[in-house]
Each structure stands twice: as structure tokens, then as C-alpha cells.
Structure 1
Amino acid sequence: MVRVGEEVKQSISLKNKGPYEITANFQFERPQKSKANPSDVFTITPQRQNITPTEKAAAVT
């Protein structure tokens, strides 16, 4: 649970188990009726990353 005004950092790990290089790309989509922009509240770093099959897990924060 995250409370209003509280800053929280979460990390995930991405690993490529396939034979080909992949690109992970993160972006927010705003619902048409919503005035709020998720990019104003959330930050994803890095937003785009290439992950090779033999590379260790890539961290996204």
C-alpha cells in the first residue's frame, strides 16, 4: 500500500531466456476520459532497454 504523498521505489528484473535479443519498452497510456497523466506521477528507468539472451537480468526501477 502506498499512502498519499509517500514516495516508493519498486524494482523488477527482466531476463531474456530466448535465443534472440529483445527490446523492452515501457510507456504509459492515458485513458481518453482521464485528465490525469501517469507520467506526471510515475517514473520508469530505463524506459527502453535491449536485453541479450546471455545477459544477466536487467533491472527496471
Structure 2
Amino acid sequence: AALLREAYEQDASVRGLLWEQFYMRHIEELALERREYADGIIYEFDTLADIQAFDAGFPEN
């Protein structure tokens, strides 16, 4: 967290990075752990509209 916080404060371009891009910049400094989950456990949404299509009550609930 400290690495990300420091980079975020010192380099405005970091703010627009996806997490994968930040990780690639610092791959030697960061450990990555992979965990497998059964289908239907984790959902990924790209937009607010995607979340609302999945959960019509979002963000009120």
C-alpha cells in the first residue's frame, strides 16, 4: 500500500493506471498471489451500468 500511495502522490500519471499496469511497473517489488474460485463467486463489472444491470438497487442498498 505504501508503494502505491507514494507513487500516486508523486506521479499524477499513476492515477490513470489500471492495477495491472501499476503491477507491471513494479513487478520486482510486488508479490502476486493467485487464488481460484468456483464460477459464480466473483463478478467483474466494467461500468456502473453493468453493476446496475446486475443489481438494480445499486448503489442505494
The reply to whether TM is greater than 0.5 is no
* TM-score when normalising by structure 2: 0.19
The structure with more radius of gyration: 2
Q: Which has the higher contact order (CA 8 A, sep 6+)?
A: 1
* TM-score when normalising by structure 1: 0.19
